[in-house]
Amino acid sequence: MKKWYRDYGLQARMVLTMLLLAGLYLIFLVVLSEYGGIGTYGLMVFAGFFLLIQFFFSDKFALWSMGGRIVSEQEEPRLHETVSRLCAIADLPKPKIAIVDSNIPNAFATGRSKDSAVVAVTTSLKQKLSQPELEAVLAHELSHVKNRDMLVITIASFLSTVAFFLVRNMLFFGMGGGNRDRDRGAGAAIIVFVISLAVWIISFLLIRALSRYREFAADRGSAVITGQPKHLASALMTISGVMERVPSRDLREVEGMNAFFIIPAISGDLIMNLFSTHPTVGARIRALEDMERKMEF
């Protein structure tokens, strides 16, 4: 196994983001404890159950939503051989491999652990990329598995989901019960609503930032596994160029999977980087070029 490349600046940003999330959620729990009622705790239990279902069945849901299917070694011998070789280098158990019949060149990894992971590629990706580029993309997805990104993002998003449910519950069902309860609890309800809304918005932005850092980490993992950062940079440019020619209707159909993709499928002409799950392609390529220069010495 090759020595895993450590980018301490990137790791520091990820740790800082997690600490900010932890601090935000601690404040949120204090407010709920002080002003929330029994219904609030029930809502938290419901949100926890919802996220557990998402966590344990995310791989099946992701494949189902994309129309992907698990393929055997007999069906895709070259793909299986490539993944097996990369897993040996990365010291990973071999994941299941899936193919998605799509004209959008992309790949994604899902699964709650290294032993239950699935790596999927689209038919368009196989057609558009050279073998070295395809290997670099597969190594990127395997890096997500090695870094346990599904676990990290699920944990980070737990109380954000609770806050979202609280906001929606209060908007649609009101903030109080009878007249007496309403008069007595209006102030507490407003506090919970405002704090929940703030937690939801701030955590949404922090989780997006965390997701972008994880993409940089997976890019670096790909460079370590393959030893060739330029191949992933080339693959990103190829995928990005093809994506621009894909009809907007096709992109909109898979936008819900953007957090999983190596490059998000975006139907609009402009997206604010602040809300994106991924860094810009240009930023990722510059980081890979920097790694290429460091590896030369």
Closest residue by Cα to residue 219 from 277, 281, 288: 288
Would you say 291 and 232 are in contact if contact means Cβ atoms under 8 Å apart? no
At 119 the three-state DSSP class reads strand
In the chain, the DSSP E strands lie at 68-70, 96-100, 107-110, 118-122
- CA–CA distance, 291 with 224 (Å, rounded to integer): 9
For residues 44 and 51, what is the distance between their CA atoms, to the nearest angstrom? 10
Q: Is 215 annotated as a binding residue?
A: yes
Secondary element (H or E) of residue 229: helix 229-243
Q: Checking phi first, is residue 94 left (phi over 0); if not, alpha (psi -120 to 50) or beta?
A: beta
**Burial track 123-162 (b if 16+ CB lie within 10 A, e otherwise):** ebbbebbeeebbbbbbbbbbbbbbbbbbebbbebbbbbbb
Longest dimension (CA), the chain: 74
In the structure encoding, which two tokens stand for residue 58, read together? 């995310």
Catalytic residue among 141, 255, 289, 292: 141
CA distance 196 to 65: 30
Q: Known catalytic residue: 255? A: no
Retrieve residue 276's tokens: 């994106």
| Residue found by looking up tokens 């907007």 in the block | 248
Catalytic site positions: 141
What residues form the annotated binding site? 140, 144, 215
What residues form the annotated binding site for Zn(2+)? 140, 144, 215
